[in-house]
Chain A
Amino acid sequence: MRSIVLPGEEAQGARHAPCTYYENGRVYSSAIGMLDTERGGVIPLEGPWSPRIGEQVVGTVTDSKNHVYTVDLSYYCRALIIGSRYDRESVEIGDVIEATIKNIEDRSVLILSYPKTLLGGVLVNIKPAKVPRVIGKEDTMLRQIEGLTRTRMVVGRNGVAWIKGKPQDTELAMRAISLIEAKAHQQGLTETVKMMLENESRNRKGE
């Protein structure tokens, strides 16, 4: 059973988890979201990304100084890659990279590690609250879109996705992402997206 909760409403059955706060023995929602009584949490419908160590991100290298690279993650905190001579891959200004958050310093500087350069492709912004749906349980949604559109995708938790493929395939993948964003709170989304993508490919063959 899922229902909408607003900030300040009691999240009955929820544990003290993200998007909630605890006061006088009760748990209240702190953002607009869906109350998930089965798992005992609030799934946010909107909102900015809150970075956690170990998450994968996608961004563009914008600056470098003394082997410290600044990465633009479309997020207000600074993100840095501290280079070393043992790095397998070197990055340069202008590169699109995927990386993992190694540490968060002073709560507002993200230290990234294991950068991998992504060549070619396009970057697409996704609402950060919808990223888990675009990826899906154990990457199911992501693999499905990649398979049906014949593209390669990397989705960063910061709400930036990298897509590489033929222009028409890329466009189809982007449409699938917009569909997920619009219907993220509905169940049976994997099926809906599958149907949309299959219909589109059939139409193209018909043409």
Chain B
Amino acid sequence: MGSSLNKPELLKGGKRLDGRGFDELRPLRIEAGVLKNANGSAYLEWGNNKVLAAVYGPREAMPKHVSDPTKGIVKCRYMMAPFSGIDDHGRSGPNRRSTEISKVAREAFENVILLNDYPSGMIEIFMEVLQSDGGTRAAGITAASVALANAGIHMKDMVYSVSAGRIGEHIVLDVNMIEDNYSDADMPMVIAPRNNDILLLQMDGGLDRAQFDQAVKMVLEAGKRIHAEQKRALEAYYGSAEKG
């Protein structure tokens, strides 16, 4: 969160700084199967965010002591490219922030991947942020979900992620960098759309009960559009399949 002393005006004429309404997403485009060497991959552009996700595996779990003969394990790596950020946001190499996001993303995916199908195996998920503008963990997880489906990994559901925030009394959807830094609350969520299960919920700032309920409702509503784009990307990749 930025300093409250130099807090910029985040709403102008009932709209947000980039001209969006409160429940409007930034333009989202996903492309599946962009990397030849990976088992599955996806490239995502979400507003100014650009993320590349790749999935490898199942391969032999390494190091050996982490392998589990009853089920597979998931390894996740979220990393920002050194050139991705505007300020010092995207420093290269593992840091506290990327370790945290890798962990929460891994835990979200462990809930949907059918790990019993891959005993002693390891599934590696890479999320590389090429350009960042707030909400990169949501962008990374949404892209990685498409990459997992593209790799043919057995999953219960294809998750999506988006964040909600609060500017004054207004709940807003899909916060960008400046809103993320100066808004009153920021709440990224990961949802499994089949039953609307919440797999990840983090919150920075504060929301009261009514505001929280409204934020969840907005996220679930927007999720339909995000899931539709994920589906479109995969169907475009396997395009001629339906003509079969």
Asked if A and B bind, the verdict is yes
A residues within 8 Å of B by Cβ?
2-4, 6-8, 19, 21, 28, 30-32, 34, 44-48, 50, 76-77, 106-108, 129, 183, 185-187
Q: Is the CB of A30 within 8 A of B154?
A: yes
Q: Is the CB of A30 within 8 A of B156?
A: yes
B76 within 8 A of A: no
- Chain B hits for A7, CB < 8 A: 112, 149, 154-158
Docked Cα-Cα span, A5 to B231, in Å, equals 9
- Chain A hits for B192, CB < 8 A: 8
Docked Cα-Cα span, A129 to B151, in Å, equals 11
B134 within 8 A of A: no
Docked Cα-Cα span, A78 to B60, in Å, equals 9
- Chain A hits for B39, CB < 8 A: 46, 48
Task: Enumerate 6 A-B pairs (CB-CB under 8 Å) in ascending A order.
Answer: A47-B151, A47-B153, A48-B153, A106-B119, A108-B121, A187-B244
Given A31-B154, A32-B150: A4 and B58 within 8 A (CB)?
A: no
Q: Is the CB of A30 within 8 A of B238?
A: no
- Chain A hits for B70, CB < 8 A: 107
Set A28, A108, A185: member contacting B69, Cβ < 8 A: A108
B135 within 8 A of A: no
- Chain B hits for A32, CB < 8 A: 149-150, 152, 234, 238
Q: Is the CB of B119 within 8 A of A48?
A: no
B188 within 8 A of A: no
Q: How many pairs of A and B residues are in contact by the CB < 8 Å rule?
A: 101
Given A32-B149, A47-B152: A8 and B193 within 8 A (CB)?
A: yes
Docked Cα-Cα span, A21 to B121, in Å, equals 20
Say which size band chain B's interface belongs to.
35 or more
Q: What string of 1s and 0s marks CB contacts (under 8 Å) between B64-98 and chain A? A: 00000110000000000000000000000000000
Q: Which residue of A lies closest to B114 (CB)?
A: A30
Docked Cα-Cα span, A8 to B240, in Å, equals 22
B194 within 8 A of A: yes
- Chain B hits for A31, CB < 8 A: 149, 152-155
B140 within 8 A of A: no
B117 within 8 A of A: yes
Q: Is the CB of B156 within 8 A of A8?
A: yes
In the assembled complex, how far is the CB of residue A108 from the closest CB belonging to chain B, in whole angstroms? 4
B18 within 8 A of A: no
B40 within 8 A of A: yes
Docked Cα-Cα span, A185 to B193, in Å, equals 27
Set B60, B69, B151, B235: member contacting A46, Cβ < 8 A: B151
- Chain A hits for B150, CB < 8 A: 32, 46
Q: What string of 1s and 0s marks CB contacts (under 8 Å) between B106-141 and chain A? A: 000000101001111110000000000000000000
Given A4-B234, A19-B154: A186 and B242 within 8 A (CB)?
A: no
Q: What string of 1s and 0s marks CB contacts (under 8 Å) between B198-234 and chain A? A: 0000000000000000000000000000000011001
Q: Is the CB of A186 within 8 A of B243?
A: yes
Known: A46-B40, A48-B57. 9 other contacts (CB 8 A): A4-B241, A30-B154, A30-B155, A32-B152, A34-B244, A48-B118, A106-B69, A108-B119, A185-B240
Q: Is the CB of B154 within 8 A of A6?
A: no
Set A8, A48, A187: member contacting B152, Cβ < 8 A: A48
B103 within 8 A of A: no
- Chain B hits for A19, CB < 8 A: 154
